[in-house]
């Protein structure tokens, strides 16, 4: 590796690990309980997907229909047998009326903060902001702009 890459790895807190489908080391940032495997993250996303489908009172067959798929194919997503592509995640979010972070947060909460408490608080605030009506959202944006301007002084 180059010195520049080594510096980047150190600055971002990445650690070398293995992935069952990759022969060379991969670099990941540890989560709050170590580095989750791809399988663990897939299973977490699948669990969230199932929970949101049930919350919307949709059967697997109904959701598959809305996705232009069939129940057997969709069921593999909920069982973490088939990985979801980013475009499929976005389509699911459209159909289920959720945000992408609704599916992803539990799989990698460390991406939302350096500690579990920080991540949970950032997630809580994000959920509140996502639920605001447009007029209130503009007010909150103005307040945040003022806070950031003060911090830069």
Other beta carbons within 10 angstroms of residue 112's beta carbon come to 19
SS (H, E, C) 65-116: HHCCCCHHHHHHHHCCCCCCCHHHHHHHHHHHCCCHHHHHHHHCHHHCCCCH
User: In this predicted structure, what is the pLDDT of residue 19?
Assistant: 86
Please state at what angle helix 71-78 crosses helix 38-55, rounded to 10 degrees: 120
Q: 44 pLDDT exceeds 70?
A: yes
- Encode pLDDT of 67-88 as tens digits: 999 999 999 999 999 999 999 9
- Encode pLDDT of 84-103 as tens digits: 999 999 999 999 999 999 99
Percentage of the chain surpassing pLDDT 70? 99
pLDDT band with cut points at 50, 70 and 90 for residue 21: confident
Q: 57 pLDDT exceeds 70?
A: yes
Q: Would the pTM count as exceeding 0.85?
A: yes
3-state secondary structure of 17: strand
Which pair of structure tokens corresponds to residue 140?
A: 């909150």
């Amino acid at each position: 590796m180059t010195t520049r890459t080594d510096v980047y790895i150190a600055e971002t807190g990445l650690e070398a690990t293995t992935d069952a489908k990759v022969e060379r080391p991969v670099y990941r940032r540890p989560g709050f309980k170590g580095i989750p495997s791809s399988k663990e993250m897939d299973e977490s996303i699948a669990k969230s997907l199932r929970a949101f489908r049930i919350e919307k009172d949709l059967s697997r067959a109904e959701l598959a229909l809305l996705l232009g798929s069939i129940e057997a194919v969709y069921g593999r997503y909920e069982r973490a047998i088939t990985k979801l592509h980013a475009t499929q995640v976005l389509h699911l979010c459209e159909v289920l009326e959720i945000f992408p972070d609704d599916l992803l947060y539990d799989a990698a909460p460390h991406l939302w903060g350096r500690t579990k408490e920080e991540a949970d608080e950032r997630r809580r605030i994000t959920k509140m902001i996502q639920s605001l009506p447009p007029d209130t959202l503009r007010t909150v944006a103005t307040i945040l702009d003022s806070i950031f301007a003060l911090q830069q002084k």
